A = this chain, B = another copy of it.
């Protein structure tokens, strides 16, 4: 199943997970398009100043892969700068937060895989 970039559905979340500003979510494939236990597969775009607040992942793993821009991630061990090609894996009850402290949009690919029963 091919999903052209222009055919993605998009939504904007304000104060995502208690963060600042708005985050655009461009879905590649939604949960009901997967056979596997995947509930998010999307590009997330954080304009300058935007953030996703701290949140926990229980019984699921989320990977962020930074595709453009730069920002600060905190996975519980302090803020660390991330930029293109860096990745963050969070799961098993861990928390994370990310914010764009730069002047360019921060784009990342996010995939959430839930654990089986």
Q: Which A residues have a C-beta under 8 Å from some C-beta of B?
A: 1-5, 8, 28-29, 33-38, 41, 43, 60-61, 63, 65, 67, 73, 75, 80, 82-92, 109, 111, 113-117
A36's contact among B41, B82, B114, by CB below 8 Å, is which?
Answer: B114
CB neighbours (8 Å) of A115 from chain B are: 35-37
Residue in contact with A2 in the complex, picked from B2, B67, B80, B109, CB distance below 8 Å: B80
Q: How many copies does the complex hold?
A: 2
A2 pairs with B37, CB closer than 8 A: no
Interface SS of A by simple majority? strand
- Chain B residue nearest in CB terms to A77: B2
Q: Is the CB of A82 within 8 A of B2?
A: yes
